[in-house]
Amino acid sequence: MLAFATLWIAVNPAKAQEKFFRAVGTPHKPKVELTFNKYYTYEGLVDAMKKIAAAHPGLAKIESIGKSYQGRDIMTLTITDFSVGKSEEKPGMWIDGNIHSNEIQGGEFSLYAAWYLTEMQADNDFIQELLRDKTFYITPTINPDARNDFFLEPNTANSPRSGMMVLDNDGDGQAGEDGMDDLDGDGHITMMIRKSPTGRFIKDPQDPRKLIMVDADKVGEYEMIGQEGTDGDGDGRVNDDGVGYYDPNRDWGWNWQPDYIQRGALRYPFTLPENRSVMEFVMKHPNIAGAQSFHNSGGMILRGPGAEEDVNTYNREDIRIYDVIGKKGEELLPGYRYIVVYKDLYSVFGGELDWFYGNRGIFTYSNELMTSYLYFHKQSAGRGNQDENFDVDKYLTMGDAFVNWHEYEHPQFGTVEIGGFKKTFGRAHPGFLLEQDAHRNAAFTIYHAYHTPKLSIMDVKEEELGGGLKAITATIFNERLMPTHASQDLKYKIERPDYVTITGAKVVAGFVVEDEDFNKLAEQKMSPERIAVENVPGMSAVKVKWIVSSGSNYSITVDSAKGGKASWKK
């Protein structure tokens, strides 16, 4: 028996060395080994992107689409099956993350989508078909400078929100003079307390991490000083300038408003080189039909409009499509809610979401990642629920999310205690939740991409008219939810019409069939062999008709900027 086993191993060495078994829905033997239970710096993201492009040259290409404020390349992966058609002639899906520097996991979620698509393509029929039909443009971070600042410099969970332009936040005439002071050198800006005879807080006897406010008629042991740091400019405030407050998601050229109306805007639309680079790339790629931006946090699938003033921009037909995809997102993403920005949150002017739809007619979502539902699978009060956060730290991260209180001799406040939740907790996923939520969000984005237009030519009919003439009628069918032109596109004629062309036949006249039953036709007198079609609605069709005097072996093609190409040959 032993001899037989030895012989079997010798004959089947690969099987004998197999030490794991394939899990459903996950790359079995990836060419690029990536883990998604940690966060990558800008350099880490770029390294992973380069490895993906090198390992899958037939599926992925990497390029820089511009430079950041500090000169870093804004790296983008183009992912499609390059052996089937040109990438720019397929319906495109744009994916980005990390426009706000502290909203870090958009980088990992975007990278996961790129990794999953390329690694699954060889073994998964659905992904194979998807990459034959579609092109993905994936930019994991569109704020690379501040991404690195968040990781490598001291910060809180909420800072910095902006990029790396240095501003004067407190209006004292000095820009960035306070910075962020990490007094104990642990990389996290937490909180400071100190003992005081008039303090309002005590430490919980059952859990010394927690501070409890005493009753109004009692005196506590500690006073809350605030954020860890110093008052560098003597204005009475700690850590008040840093890199400055502006919001890259108020910089886009749609319904833009200046800073005195909406805090966070800079000098003019697309002041920021990072956003300008994205804008220019999108303008050069009219095939982009869908878009996804990853933010954090709160577990939300957002659609526009960002402001009530824009409510008429989104018409009923487009909202119906948004709703179908958004509701599917709620199924795919437990704990997430599909909501409208201005109606369910607050007004946003100059946001990326609205620029993509308003200026380019691209169906776009912005997902606010991480919801506390993922911790214990129950609805809670969200990030502000401190009791739940302490339970997460105690039972799920084993104390790794909290910096325990410890004494420090402060140059201005004397003996203080520093402690609190780390910058990578609360808004950001803990490692054990990162991959699952990345996969679910990738699945939602893939569903969205799947429903960008897919055109086919069907039901081609011939009718003899006599006198050497015949009519040829063709049906152009859109097999997916999204139309080739959103209502915003049609309203402002953003993109060219779809063209349906017949070759190999001498065309006498060409028509769009408006009502076949009543023979209602709209003639196109100029260049009738190439009929301009205004739009092919989702899950619907348009018909075209030619009168030809000759042609027995002819071809028909359809060419749509956002719908791609299709052909039929007799």
Could you report the per-residue pLDDT of 356-375, keeping only the tens digit for each? 999 999 999 999 999 999 99
Region 106-117 average pLDDT: 98
| Residue 4 scores a pLDDT above 60 | no
**Average pLDDT of the residues of the chain:** 92
8 A C-beta contact, residue 333 and residue 444: yes
* Predicted pLDDT at 175: 46
Superfamily of domain 2-149+277-370+430-450: Zn peptidases (3.40.630.10)
CA-to-CA distance for 441 and 447, rounded, in angstroms? 10
Q: What is the strand order of the sheet 207-213 is part of?
A: 207-213, 201-204, 222-227, 191-195, 414-421, 402-410
Q: Residues 258-282: pLDDT tens digits?
A: 989 988 899 999 999 999 999 999 9
At 386, the pLDDT band (50, 70, 90 cuts) reads confident
Would you say residue 431 has pLDDT above 80? yes
SS3 state of residue 507: strand
Give the pLDDT confidence score for residue 384 in this predicted structure.
Answer: 52
Q: Boundaries of CATH 3.40.630.10 in the chain?
A: 2-149+277-370+430-450
Q: What is the pTM of this model?
A: 0.94
Does residue 3 surpass a pLDDT of 60?
A: no
Confidence band, pLDDT 50/70/90 cuts, at residue 240:
low
Neighbouring C-alpha atoms within 13 Å toward the C-beta of 446: 24
Tokens read off for 558: 């359809």
pLDDT tens by residue, 297-312: 999 999 999 999 999 9
Q: Give CATH 2.60.40.10 domain extents, the chain.
A: 455-569
β-pairing verdict for 337-340 and 300-303: parallel
| pLDDT of res. 244 | 59
Select from 367, 528, 343 the least CA-distant residue to 437: 367
Strand arrangement of the beta sheet that strand 73-79 belongs to? 60-67, 73-79, 135-139, 92-97, 288-296, 363-369, 300-303, 337-340
Q: What topology is assigned to 455-569 in CATH?
A: Immunoglobulin-like (2.60.40)
